[in-house]
Structure 1
Amino acid sequence: MPNGITIRPVLTKADRKAFVDLPFRLYADNPAWVPPLKDEAYGLITPGKNPFFEHAEAQLYLAERAGKVVGRISASIDHMWTPMPPEKGGGADSGNWGYLDAEDKAVADLLIGQAEEWLRTHGVKRSIGPISMSIWEEPGLLIKGHDHPPTVMMGYDDARYEAWVESWGYAKVKDLHTWDLDITKDFPPLIARIVQSGQKNSRIRVRDVNKKKFAAEAAIILNILNDAWSGNWGFVPFTESEIAFAGKKMKPIIFNDLVKIAEYDGEPVAFMMTWPDLNEMQADLNGNLFPFGFIKLLWRLNGGLTGIPKVRTTRVPLMGVVKHLQASRLASQLAFMMIEDTRQAALKFYGSTHSEIGWILEDNQGMNSIASTIESRINKTYRIYEKAI
């Protein structure tokens, strides 16, 4: 027990509860940290609740000192990640760690050592992280933007962790950026003309989704997503179980006029999904839906009696254009049109002043160029590391 620290595997419901509860203590005095909903956080790490475990294996660990939980980490192998070629992040010898939180470096050192040992015993030679635990959940370590809260489904990390991770020999493999857009400002004149040109083009139609046809609309979006993102680093397609899981979780924050599908000659070729920032609505609930948190959150999601929530920030977590159009001018035109339509709706009906776009891979030149051209700025950077073990 170096420094009186014990590392043990998470085995019971009580252990999982302790795993979820730890950040509430470690970040209690940090105004930029947003408490997650505990029930949701518990479900993400529990086999049988999160369909990630249908194609992955994982072990969670807790660190204790004098009987007190002082750290946590996960080690995992996603069997839909490993078939990817190494240049796309995968490889049969690759595995991941994530969910790192620790009181101090001594605790973190032992946790990462334990995660690496579990990975080695499962044949892993390339340790990649943090990925907690799916690429679709909270990938990357926050290295820029600690001074303001993350938006919905984006992580937050102690600023000390960057130096700790690098001290273990981990090197950057990929940065993920989020971009902040001031939606109270009109687009630059050139972009406004591109949007207006598209609006006059009878071959182009940008429409709202119809939540009453949720399953059909979700299928259209996922078909575009799987095509558009298939060449991206770290891309793992959703399984049918994961589609159902994500749909159930996200449906309360899907609003027709914030999710767009673009059609060209009647064919769906692009989409953009925007959510009200749920973190703004749940920040004061301290992770608890009961006894009164559920009522507060539901009231806020429904905007009181209006049915429309009021939030300062919206988030664009997903956008895609089918692959055969990605090198064309039409791709950026469709993106600008969808962003402008959503900007107008968010400004007019939701009381928003900012939108966060991303995450976007650092080498996704098309999307980063679009974000830059509409005068967004990078507000957060998340880094994924790798190391031979």
Structure 2
Amino acid sequence: MIETRPVRGRAEDLAFHALPARLSGAGWAPRLRWEERRLFAPATNGFLATHDVARFLAWRDGGAVGRIAACVPHDPAAPATFGFLALEEDPAVLRGLLAAARGFAAAGGREALIGPLSFTINHEVGAQAGFFDRPPMLRMPGTPRWLPAALDAAGLHAVKDVLACTVDLATEHHRARFARLAAARATDMARLSIRGLRRADYAAEVRLVAALFDDAWADNWGAVPLGPAEVETLATLLRPLLWRGEVFIAAWDGMPVGLLSLVPNIDAALPRDGRLLPFGWARLLPALAGRIPAGADQARIPMLGITRAFRRHPASALAMGALLDAGFGLAARRGWRRIEISWILEDNAPMRNAMARLPAPVTGRWRLWSMPAASPAQG
């Protein structure tokens, strides 16, 4: 018999965060337990001040066999979500977990949830829907082959796919093409500047990055602005990735108009059990410094965008090209030969066309579903 109940006490907290590693042989990617626990702690994640979050575990014969989290924003315009899934391949376990999330959302006055999202579309997105042999990538979920069909069978409705595209620096055409374009448009290039993040003014720079992100992504499906507390959490999560990574900011006549972030793929070095102690640091610290294990020489571009007003400017393509040129140049200097650009909405035709020109073929796909919330009585 399956029992699903809220996480209570330290032992169940530990069981919740240990489950992905325990199920890693069944297709679930391990998580960095220390970082994940901080996401559920109000003292280290200000996001929780404006969102109600509940965690649930499914139990069978005294052992945890599944987990889920549900998130209800205080802002009624923002969607309720479910995520942090990990479970054995058992329809009864999945039904119990989804019912728990639905009941929590319904009790919060919501009629539907979107997921998997951990916690929002600004964080980890979706369940894998193909490309299951891809290597692990920083904050891109790794989930089993059976999960999409199981979510369909549970009555959820697929609503959106997002993609990853990967460019191989040995075969990309962009830098040579951009050099010719920049030479032909020298006057415009004199008005365009690309710079890295100013570490000496880190807090203000992260606020600028968040403002550019909110503007550039505002028209995207499911966009949710970053709240002030969430920006502080972003600053904390981003700092170690910038030891060897970078955020590039494009400015036109001194006004910021776009950004690109490039970070090392530390997931290639993540301990399989998700633990930092006693030996996990020995693998993770070199990856944070940019020394990715042999055969996993990849990095990720999680942010690439131009502000909405500047997209109509004749030099917007020049700014996008210059950002990619700077990102690819840094990757080459770091020895990162393959760069994943993720994620991209499947129906974002301008970005898909830009990826085709690099070329950066599709190398990953994730899917999001919607499900109605139960009534509080049902929950």
TM-score for the superposition, normalised by structure 1: 0.87
Q: Is the 8 A contact 1:276 1:309 kept in 2?
A: no
- Partner in structure 2 of residue 278 of structure 1: 266
Take 2:200 and 2:43, find their aligned partners in 1: how far apart are those partners? Answer: 28
**RMSD, aligned α-carbons:** 2.4
Q: Which runs of 5+ in 1 are unaligned?
A: 84-89
Q: 1:263 to 1:184 in 2, by over 3 A?
A: same
> For residue 118 of structure 1, what is the aligned residue in structure 2?
104
Change (3 A) 1:131 1:29: closer
Q: 136-145 or 62-71, which moves further after superposition?
A: 136-145
Instruction: Give the residue type in structure 1 aligned to 2:141.
Output: G
Task: Specify which of 181, 185, 196 is matched with residue 194 of structure 1.
Answer: 181
CA distance in 2 between partners of 1:204 and 1:318 (Å): 19
In the aligned structure 1, how far is the partner of 2:293 from the partner of 2:57?
A: 38
Alpha-carbon distance in 2 for matches of 1:317, 1:258: 11
Aligned to 2:252: 264
Cα pair 1:208 1:257 within 8 Å, conserved? no
CA distance in 1, matches of 2:96, 2:26: 25
- Provide closer, same or farther for how the CA distance between residues 79 and 368 of structure 1 changes in structure 2, counting only shifts above 3 A: farther
Change (3 A) 1:78 1:251: same
Match among 22, 25, 32 for residue 25 of structure 1: 22
- Alignment correspondent of 1:69: 64
CA distance in 1, matches of 2:205, 2:186: 22
Which residue of 2 is the match for residue 10 of structure 1?
A: 7
**Structure 1 letter corresponding to 2:80:** G
- Closer/same/farther in 2, CA of residues 106 and 152 from structure 1, 3 Å limit: same
Partner of 1:108 in structure 2?
Answer: 94
Aligned length: 369
The structure 2 residue matched to 1:57, chosen from 33, 52, 55, is 52
1:177 CA drift (Å): 1.1
Query: What is the CA deviation profile of residues 131-187 of structure 1, one whole-angstrom value per residue up to 9, with x for unaligned ones?
Result: 122322212111122112331111111111101111122222221111111122241
List aligned pairs for 1:284-363, cutoff 5 A: 284=271, 286-302=273-289, 312-347=297-332, 349-363=333-347
Residues 263/74 of structure 1: CA separation in 2 closer, same or farther (3 Å cut): same
The one-character-per-residue Cα deviations of 1:213-245 (angstroms, maximum 9, x if unpaired) are: 322322322222122122222222222222222
**Mean Cα deviation higher: 37-46 or 155-164:** 37-46
> Quick check: 1:258–1:346 contact (8 Å CA) kept in 2?
no
Quick check: 1:203 aligned with 2:187? no
Instruction: Check 1:196–1:167 CA distance in 2 against 1; reply closer, same or farther (3 A cut).
Output: farther
Instruction: Give 2:377's aligned residue.
Output: none
- How far residue 268 of structure 1 moved from its aligned partner, in angstroms, is 1.4
Change (3 A) 1:269 1:197: farther
| Equivalent pair of 2:134/2:363 in contact (CA under 8 Å) | no
Indicate the residue corresponding to 2:42 in structure 1.
Answer: 47
Q: Deviation at 1:257?
A: 7.0
Which one of the candidate residues 202, 222, 225 is aligned to 2:210?
222
Residues 275 and 300 of structure 1, relative CA distance in 2, 3 Å threshold:
closer
The CA deviation at 1:199 is 6.1
Residue identity in the other structure for 2:111: K
2:32 partner amino acid = L
Task: Supply the distance in 1 between the matched residues of 2:157 and 2:317 (Cα, whole angstroms).
Answer: 33
Secondary structure of 1:69's aligned partner: strand
Q: Which residue of 2 aligns with 1:86?
A: none
- Is the alpha carbon distance of 1:79 and 1:196 closer, same or farther for their aligned partners in structure 2, counting shifts above 3 Å? farther
**Secondary structure, aligned partner of 1:259:** strand
Which segment is superposed worse, 146-155 or 358-367?
358-367
Contact 2:47 2:233 in 1 (8 A): no
CA contact 1:302–1:309 (8 Å) conserved in 2? no
> TM-score by structure 2 length?
0.89
Distance change in 2, residues 1:207/1:182 (3 Å)? same
CA distance in 2, matches of 1:209, 1:320: 16
Maintained 8 Å contact 1:198/1:334:
no
Deviations 1:346-384 (A, max 9, x none): 11x211110010111223333222222211011111111
What's the counterpart of residue 379 of structure 1?
363
Secondary structure of the structure 2 residue equivalent to 1:28: helix
Q: How high is the sequence identity, in percent, across the aligned residues?
A: 29
